[in-house]
Structure 1
């Protein structure tokens, strides 16, 4: 499962994703399977990421990585078709409704508004809408939980929102980024201490239009993070 934190700073979107993969049995038992997953996937125009059931997440993420999309609605259609196929395949599973409710996708892409380049962050989460994509506006944050409660996620989100709002109002862009990344690492560490499905390390992506910089396997004790360009690898 997963904890994903997102902050839209205007020119740049910051995304932090933990690295743990967890198997959930039919009766709900959670079994961690390592902390090496790279959940942030590079696309031709940004990144795509998800939280929840790997069986639903991977087909969408892989297709968008390899083939891209012409419109966000293309991705939405793929998500809805994947959910329908999963529902048909697992119609008798006692976990079906939980898997659908806990699985979310999110992705970025560049666009132009009033002659200005803009980075869009959009997401699909059944809790917000089961039929459409939602967007994250400038100055706002999101927490996508996988394996811990919506209430806990909303509490994390409120804490992160307070830090982002105060930072944007008081500091220049570079300092805002540093403050927000540092606080995201702190929150991921706190969640990992109470959730067996979240690792203490995470990958952090800085997305500005089509440009993506990433710091891999970061944790709260890091004194200085190194961000490097994230390449776009298409499956052969």
Structure 2
């Protein structure tokens, strides 16, 4: 399962995703299976990631990584078809509705608005719209939970929003990035202490249009994070 934090700072979108993979058996028991998953996937024009059921997440992430998309609606159609196929395949599973409710996708892409280049961050979450994508506006943040409560996610989101709102107009780009990344690491550490489905380490992506820099396996004790270009690697 997953905790993903996102902040749209204008020129740059910052995404932090923990690294734990968790299996859930028929009885609903959660079994951690490792902390090495790279949940943020590079696409030709940005990144795609998600929280929830890997059986639904991976087909969408892999297709977008390998083939891209012409329109965000193409990704939405793929998400809806994947959810429908999953629902038919697991119709008798008592966890079906929970898996559908807890699984969300999010991706970025560059576009032009009023002759200005902008970075779009859009997401699908059943709670916010069963058949539509939502856009995260500049200055706003999101927390996408997978395996911990919506109330906990809303609390994390409110804390991160307070930091961004207080800082976005007063700090330089570099200062703002440092403040937000540091606080994201703190929040991931806090939720990992109370949720068996979230790791204390995370990958952090800085997305500016089609350019992506990433710091892998970061944690709150890191004194100086190193961000490197994130390569787009399609399946062979």
TM-score by length of 2: 1.00
- Show the counterpart of 1:117: 117
Partners of 1:129 and 1:26 in 2: how far apart?
Answer: 27
Gaps of 5+ in 1: none
- Show the counterpart of 1:228: 228
Partners of 2:210 and 2:26 in 1: how far apart?
Answer: 40
Q: What root-mean-square deviation, in Å, do the aligned CA atoms of Structure 1 and Structure 2 show?
A: 0.4
- Show the counterpart of 1:104: 104
Tell me by how many angstroms 1:169 deviates.
Answer: 2.4
Tell me by how many angstroms 1:167 deviates.
Answer: 1.1
Partners of 1:117 and 1:14 in 2: how far apart?
Answer: 17
Over residues 34-72 of structure 1, what are the superposed CA-to-partner deviations in whole Å (9 max), with x where a residue is unaligned?
000000000000000000000000000000000000000
- Show the counterpart of 2:67: 67
- Show the counterpart of 1:46: 46
Q: Secondary structure at the match of 2:93?
A: coil
- Show the counterpart of 1:12: 12
- Show the counterpart of 1:56: 56
Over residues 178-207 of structure 1, what are the superposed CA-to-partner deviations in whole Å (9 max), with x where a residue is unaligned?
000000000000000000000000000000
Alignment pair present for 1:139 and 2:139: yes
Gaps of 5+ in 2: none
Partners of 1:179 and 1:114 in 2: how far apart?
Answer: 30
Q: Secondary structure at the match of 2:144?
A: strand
Partners of 1:114 and 1:155 in 2: how far apart?
Answer: 35
Over residues 22-41 of structure 1, what are the superposed CA-to-partner deviations in whole Å (9 max), with x where a residue is unaligned?
00011110000000000000
- 1:164-203 equivalences under 5 Å are 164-203=164-203
TM-score by length of 1: 1.00
Partners of 1:97 and 1:81 in 2: how far apart?
Answer: 16
Partners of 1:54 and 1:3 in 2: how far apart?
Answer: 14
Runs of 4+ aligned residues of structure 1 deviating over 2 Å after TM superposition are none
Q: Secondary structure at the match of 2:130?
A: coil
- Show the counterpart of 1:92: 92
Partners of 2:65 and 2:172 in 1: how far apart?
Answer: 33
Partners of 1:198 and 1:159 in 2: how far apart?
Answer: 18
Partners of 1:54 and 1:16 in 2: how far apart?
Answer: 18
- Show the counterpart of 1:162: 162
Query: How many positions carry a matched residue from both structures?
Result: 236
Partners of 2:170 and 2:117 in 1: how far apart?
Answer: 24
Tell me by how many angstroms 1:212 deviates.
Answer: 0.1
- Show the counterpart of 2:130: 130
- Show the counterpart of 1:215: 215
Partners of 1:44 and 1:106 in 2: how far apart?
Answer: 15
